[in-house]
Amino acid sequence: MPPLNLQPYAKTSNRPYVTTVLAMSADGKISNPQRGAARFPSAADQHHLEKRLAIADATLFGAGTLRAYGTTALIKDAKLLEKRRQNTQPPQPIHIVCSRSGQLDPTAKFFTQPIPRWLLTTSHGAANWQDTDHFERLWIAPTAPTGQDFAWEQILTKLKALNIHQLIIMGGGQLVAALMAADLIDELWLTICPLIIGGDKSPTPCDGDGFSLDNAPRFTLISHQTVGNEVFLNYKRHR
């Protein structure tokens, strides 16, 4: 088990410190070609995710991740919950779903979990939820001047203004790719799990259009640990 380190991540000046936490197969896939729920990580990895969430003010994930699982990850460990209480943090971080269409199942278990819920979406997507209490905040994302892409730097600056200093990204690959392209990911936690999924349509930790080798974001290995048949890797962005 990776050591219990609940020290806050480093701070950034005008936006949250952004950490991506993902588990992948030995061939670098986070799900199968059908993009189903990836339930292959061990209990050790699930607890590892809890420890990362215990430091966070908020977590951000894509609609595809929510559709696959129907739920989100919760902090359940009593020691982690007590640590958050001592730090005057709420029991669970804010869970922010990113969905352009806003097409989500209102009967999903996610909507009954004891968490604060926000939706980051478009004006069209927000219309589906205007007269409901499913989300505490409906946030119409600013878009980049060059197209329909979300303006991620503006979004993260706003999050910092809302006292979100530590942000965890839990997937999927398209969301990670967008943030990676904007150079807004500071740290990676990757768990390598002992299976091969394969398939050229299986999602990876970072999908999107990809990068040239010259422009590929570089990371520095901070720590590594083997627990059973899984390997836990921690990287920090090298800028």
Closest to 158 (Cα-Cα) out of 107, 74, 207, 96: 96
As for how many domains the chain has, the answer is 1
Q: Is the pLDDT of residue 148 over 90?
A: no
Residue 147: the pLDDT is 66
**CATH code assigned at 156:** 3.40.430.10
Percent of the chain with pLDDT over 90: 87
The reply to whether 44 falls in a domain is: no
The reply to whether 226 falls in a domain is: no
Q: Is the pLDDT of residue 229 over 50?
A: yes
Q: Is the pLDDT of residue 4 over 70?
A: no
Using DSSP's 3-state secondary structure scheme, residue 182 falls into coil
- Per-residue pLDDT tens over the stretch 88-120: 999 999 999 999 999 999 999 999 999 999 999
What is the amino acid identity at position 65? T
The reply to whether 70 falls in a domain is: yes
| Euclidean distance between CA atoms 201 and 35, whole angstroms | 9
What is the amino acid identity at position 147? G
Q: Is the pLDDT of residue 5 over 70?
A: no
Closest to 55 (Cα-Cα) out of 190, 170, 161, 166: 166
The domain in which residue 179 lies consists of: 17-25+52-186
Mean pLDDT of the chain: 93
| Euclidean distance between CA atoms 186 and 177, whole angstroms | 13
The reply to whether 89 falls in a domain is: yes
The reply to whether 225 falls in a domain is: no
The strand pairing partners of 61, in sequence order, are: 97
What is the amino acid identity at position 13? S
The reply to whether 213 falls in a domain is: no
Element (H, E) at 232: strand 230-238
Residue 38: the pLDDT is 87
- Per-residue pLDDT tens over the stretch 122-138: 999 999 999 999 999 99
- Per-residue pLDDT tens over the stretch 9-28: 556 579 999 999 999 999 99
The reply to whether 151 falls in a domain is: yes
Residue range 149-155: mean pLDDT, rounded: 94
The reply to whether 73 falls in a domain is: yes
Estimate the crossing angle of helix 43-55 against helix 78-86, to 10 degrees: 10
Using DSSP's 3-state secondary structure scheme, residue 82 falls into helix
Residue range 197-218: mean pLDDT, rounded: 95
